[in-house]
Every structure is written in structure tokens, then in C-alpha cells.
């Protein structure tokens, strides 16, 4: 696939024909040197930052923010170091928050918002492990993965709608085409983005002065915590744990870590 910042097109404009959708792909394709591949970007930086800001406000309203000064200072220190290592310190007005949530999760939103759940802090054995996760999330921002996923979703909706118009078949056809797009395009691509964020996150953590090998111990802990019945990798937006750990090990060896 492929991304140059372009204005967000309306659905009506995009549904004018297959020729129009082809033009969107050409117009939105450029090479991302950090990733070494092309990206499709149909949404500009300002729009994406607005989306990130709106999501941040919603999350802060829906989730309880930790009142622990120690936890919030800890995450801000780790996050700030990762952001500086990624070269993003001056790009956004960064905000950090710890959320009282038992799920071991963290996120970085476009526009410079980083959230970490208490469940992840409790699972992590060290600041190095937290830094590995935050580095991964910040890598999604530097890689413009959110813009890419939004653009892919826009284009997939166009393709399904156009196919329905040309082939007929009603709801059954729409469901079949939608499943094909979901499992054949969007989810595998998401896994590719996860691997990219893993790779870049290791470098950000190392550049920030943390031990990137902590990513291995963290994901091993995550694998141990998971219950039986994990979905097959092809039905998941994230890589299987064993595959992710193997890819991390390979990148660490390339970085000179044994």
C-alpha cells in the first residue's frame, strides 16, 4: 500500500466511481523512509490530531485518572524520555495520564497524548518494561499508523459500496465483501503495523537509556497472563505471542544485544 497528506474526502465524493477511488490511491501514496515502504494517507495531520484530542477527552471522562502523584510522575518521566528519543518533543504539546484500569494496556494518540493503565504498571517488572511498551505506542505515532488505518478504512468502505452497486446481492453480498476486506486486508495490515511498532519501539527505548531487552520479558509475562482460547493469529489485529517474541529477538540481535 501507500501516503502524502491530503484533505479528507467525503463519502459522496469517493463513491463517484472506480476511477475516482483509483485516483485516491495514487494521490495518497508516498514512501515512508522510516518504515521503508509506501503508505496510503488520505487524512491530514491537523485532522488526525483533532481525532486524537477528541478521543483523549472521551477517555478521560470515561476512565478514572489515578490520583497518585508518584505513578503519574513515573509515567511522565518514562514517556518524556521516549518522546525525546523519537524526536517528537517539539512536535506536540504532550500530555500523560495513568488510568485506574486493571487491563494491562497503554496507548499513544495522534496529537501527543499518552495513557498507561495501572494494570500494565502492576504487570511490568521495571521501568524498562514500561518503556518498551510506551516506545511501541509512540512508534505508532511516528509511523503514522493511525492515519494509515483511517485511510484504509475509508478506501475499503468505498470498495465494498462500489462492489455492491455493480454486483447486487443485497445484505448477503455486503456481509461477504465486508468479511473479505476485514480478514484479508485490514487485520493482516494491522499485524504488520504492530511488528513495525515493535521494531521502532526497541530503538526508542534504547536511545532513551532503557534496556530494550525488557520488551522480551514483558511480552513473556503477557503471554503467561493470557487465558486459554486465544484467537488464531489470522483473526487477530496483533501478532501471536510466539511470533512477536521471535521478531523482537531477531531485532535485538541486529541491534547487538545477545
Give catalytic status of residue 77 as yes or no: no
C-alpha to C-alpha distance for 255 and 203, rounded to whole angstroms? 8
- The secondary structure element, H or E, covering residue 177 is helix 170-181
C-alpha to C-alpha distance for 68 and 156, rounded to whole angstroms? 43
Residue 129 CB burial class (10 angstroms; 0-12, 13-18, ≥19): buried
Distances (CA, A) of 227 to 125, 178, 231, 232, 236: 20, 29, 11, 14, 15
C-alpha to C-alpha distance for 222 and 89, rounded to whole angstroms? 30
C-alpha to C-alpha distance for 102 and 121, rounded to whole angstroms? 9
Which residue among the candidates 129, 137, 148, 251 is catalytic per the annotation?
137
Give me the active site residues, please: 137
Amino acid at each position: 500500500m501507500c501516503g502524502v497528506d491530503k484533505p479528507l474526502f467525503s463519502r459522496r465524493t469517493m463513491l463517484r466511481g472506480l476511477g475516482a477511488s483509483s485516483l485516491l490511491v495514487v494521490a495518497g501514496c508516498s514512501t515512508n523512509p522510516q518504515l521503508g515502504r509506501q503508505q496510503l494517507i488520505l487524512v491530514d495531520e491537523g485532522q488526525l490530531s483533532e481525532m486524537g484530542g477528541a478521543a483523549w477527552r472521551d477517555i478521560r471522562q470515561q476512565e478514572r485518572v489515578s490520583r497518585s502523584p508518584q505513578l503519574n510522575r513515573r509515567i511522565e518521566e518514562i514517556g518524556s524520555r521516549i518522546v525525546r528519543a523519537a524526536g517528537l518533543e517539539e512536535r506536540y504539546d504532550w500530555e500523560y495520564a495513568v488510568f485506574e484500569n486493571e487491563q494491562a494496556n497503554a496507548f499513544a494518540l495522534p496529537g501527543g497524548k499518552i495513557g498507561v493503565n495501572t494494570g500494565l504498571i502492576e504487570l511490568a517488572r521495571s521501568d524498562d518494561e514500561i518503556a518498551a511498551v510506551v516506545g511501541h505506542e509512540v512508534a505508532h505515532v511516528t509511523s503514522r499508523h493511525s492515519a494509515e488505518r483511517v485511510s484504509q478504512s475509508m478506501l475499503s468502505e468505498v470498495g465494498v459500496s462500489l462492489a455492491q452497486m455493480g454486483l447486487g446481492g443485497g445484505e448477503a453480498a455486503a456481509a461477504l465483501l465486508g468479511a473479505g476486506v476485514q480478514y484479508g486486508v485490514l487485520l493482516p495490515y494491522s499485524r504488520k503495523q504492530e511488528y513495525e511498532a515493535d521494531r521502532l519501539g526497541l530503538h526508542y527505548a534504547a536511545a532513551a537509556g532503557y534496556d530494550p531487552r525488557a520488551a522480551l520479558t514483558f511480552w513473556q509475562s503477557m503471554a503467561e497472563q493470557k487465558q486459554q482460547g486465544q484467537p488464531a493469529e489470522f483473526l487477530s489485529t496483533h501478532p501471536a505471542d510466539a511470533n512477536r517474541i521471535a521478531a523482537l529477538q531477531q531485532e535485538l540481535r541486529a541491534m547487538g544485544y545477545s
